Amino acid sequence: MTFQNTREFAQQLDGQDALRAYRDEFIFPQHNGKNVIYFTGNSLGLQPKRTKKYVDEVMNDWANLAVEGHFYANKPWWDYHERFAAPLSKIVGAKPSEVTVMNTLTVNLHLLMVSFYRPTKTRYKILCEEKAFPSDQYMFQSQVHFHGYKTEDAIVEVKRRDGEHNIRLEDILAKIEEVGDELALVLIGGVNYYTGQVFDIKTITEAGHKAGAKVGWDLAHAAGNIQLELHDWNVDFACWCSYKYMNSGPGNASGCFIHEKHHNDSNLPRFAGWWGHNKERRFKMEPAFDPVHGADGWQVSNLPILSLAPYLASVEMFSEVGMDALITKRNQITAYLEFVLHEIDKEVDSTFEIITPQDQSQRASQLSVFLHGEGRTLFDYLMSNGVITDWREPNVIRLAPVPLYCSYEDMYDFGQILKQGILQKLNLNSL
């Protein structure tokens, strides 16, 4: 398709958008009486309007039934989490028995590392990407220290080549082969939070297994954003947060995947708790732990139903839309935003550099833009003019055109506001 940087063309694309009705399913912050242009769904998704109904249902059941809500609520609380199995399995490409919801992202990664990071005297190293999300870095450090290793000995980072913003697949594969028999675990973010680079999960997982390591994935920026086939790719485990692309609300519950090949392994250690115990015998208060078969057997505590209610509202919306439709629009609206950025760059003779890969197979709903010659003042200008975006040091703004609620006209309007911000700065500098 040949794009045009005009409002009429953007409106034409919106008119053809199969997902356009879903924009009205969300609540937008307002700026001067108008919806903001919202580019930070990669940090916190907008609130779906249907969320209130799901939360109110729990609140009403709590008020009217109190403790009996566990068994007699419209959606009984004791098995509330089971409603996620079917829709989440479609989102991440799993069997329903392989997914569950519990805790929060980093907590779940720690818990699953109990099972899947089993270092020995000779095989103890963890491979991750350079500039992983800080929480993952802290997790790796604390895990290797817990097992008695030094960070510099046990953590192996795959680095970017000099002058490049993204990590080459061949460098990841080469590093896995190099570490070889010392490699205990590969754990990488499926989508890099800073650059928006999408990693080849299938190929990297195969390479990690060939080296004799377990392979897990932090899918914080991937779940609900990219096509995942975790079961078929033979991934050992994965975790994701629900408040970014899946719009469940700030700090909300995490999803987990544990491949079925591990479900019957009685030698696999785990940190156990009441809610992971045999469902049919849970209330018999037995002293010996008998795990639920499947991913639910990794649960620890009674679930936070008020947190799960918004998440359930969102995953049911995903079931209506389907990942194929989301990805189709994601690719087109991200490409249109890229086009608009290049057009504005030419009009104002600026020097933007999009550090997210051009190849659609290596990117998703994010463009990270390095603002050469610009600075924080341009970001502040965007924010003060109704564009909610994200600043990352040293000089990058992250733009996430989420397909469920961003419009093509948003992309056009953003380009015009961006142009005015740059021209205003140029005019001030010329005085």
For 66-192, where are the alpha helices, taking DSSP H only? 69-72, 85-92, 105-116, 134-146, 151-154, 169-179
Domains belonging to the chain, first-starting first, are: 7-48+323-430 (3.90.1150.10), 52-321 (3.40.640.10)
Share of the chain above pLDDT 70, in %: 98
Amino acid at 115: S
Does 431 score more than 50 pLDDT?
A: no
pLDDT digits (tens, 9 = 90+) for 347-372: 987 778 999 999 999 999 999 999 87
pLDDT digits (tens, 9 = 90+) for 299-333: 999 999 999 999 999 999 999 999 999 999 999 99
pLDDT digits (tens, 9 = 90+) for 195-212: 999 999 999 999 999 999
Task: Answer yes or no: pTM beyond 0.85.
Answer: yes
pLDDT digits (tens, 9 = 90+) for 32-53: 999 999 999 999 999 999 999 9
Beta-strand relationship, 396-399 and 367-372: antiparallel
CB burial class (10 A; 0-12, 13-18, 19+) of residue 161? Answer: exposed
Chain centre to alpha carbon of residue 376: 26
The CA distance from 310 to 53, in Å, is 9
The CA distance from 192 to 264, in Å, is 33
